[in-house]
Amino acid sequence: ETGVTQTPRHLVMGMTNKKSLKCEQHLGHNAMYWYKQSAKKPLELMFVYSLEERVENNSVPSRFSPECPNSSHLFLHLHTLQPEDSALYLCASSQVLGPPGSYNEQFFGPGTRLTVL
Amino acid sequence: RKEVEQDPGPFNVPEGATVAFNCTYSNSASQSFFWYRQDCRKEPKLLMSVYSSGNEDGRFTAQLNRASQYISLLIRDSKLSDSATYLCVVNPSQNTDKLIFGTGTRLQVFP
């Protein structure tokens, strides 16, 4: 059992639907991340929130909209998705602003497997 | 050139074998390096960090060659439970927690 939970674990949606993915971390971390993992591709970083501010947005289409209401929760709002958006969406958290040179391990949630029809 | 490149495998090895994975990275200014393990249909988990001097954790040894920009992972005495995908991960900057992942190398250990 990890300290990062994600719901739902599986989601099937049509191209006109609106849905949201939820992530919650119980580790006291101050940074959260959304990644996309497609078959035969590396994990792609989508968004980074550090201290509840968005610090990274990797040219993600506007049909993906993140929200970070507090340091423990992260949402990914989805609307008018395309079939090519079908993938595993992983949330991660870490503790940033550690000592210089320290590594802040990212802990991943189990992911939401999304299928867009 | 991909930022982090790995042989996707699969590597099929018998129990007890020694297997090595290599990974190359393109950004010479990269600061930190890691190996993550991802089991089928599960999330990635940190296996070990990779230090300049090389480091060992039980049956696992990681090495870094900054001059050639490659990282290696050696697994000795392979177990069935080692079957997974091994992700090479690079942090390109000391000032960010942005991680760059390779596509992973799949290992299958058979009896």
Q: How confident is the model at residue A102 (pLDDT cuts 50, 70, 90)?
A: low
User: Mutation test of the interface with chain A: which of B4, B35, B43, B96, choosing the one with the most A Cβ atoms within 10 A?
Assistant: B43
**Contact between A74 and A49 (Cβ < 8 Å):** yes
Question: What is the per-residue burial (b if ≥16 Cβ within 10 Å, else e) of A89-115?
Answer: bbbbbbbbeeeeeebbbbbbbbbbbbe
The verdict on a CB contact (< 8 Å) between A106 and B91 is no
Compute the distance between CA of residue B13 and CA of residue B72 in angstroms, rounded to an integer: 17
The verdict on a CB contact (< 8 Å) between B44 and A108 is yes
Average pLDDT over residues A78-96: 93
Contacts of A111 in chain B (CB under 8 A): 43
Compute the distance between CA of residue B107 and CA of residue B111 in angstroms, rounded to an integer: 13
Contacts of A100 in chain B (CB under 8 A): 94
SS3 call for B81: helix
Lowest mean pLDDT across A19-33, A42-56, A76-90? A42-56
Q: Which ranges of chain B have pLDDT less than 70?
A: 94-97
- Of B42 and A99, the structure prediction assigns the larger pLDDT to B42
The verdict on a CB contact (< 8 Å) between A42 and B43 is no
Q: How confident is the model at residue A113 (pLDDT cuts 50, 70, 90)?
A: very high
Contacts of B15 (CB under 8 A, 6+ apart): B78, B79, B80, B109, B110, B111
The verdict on a CB contact (< 8 Å) between A90 and B4 is no
pLDDT of residue A59: 83
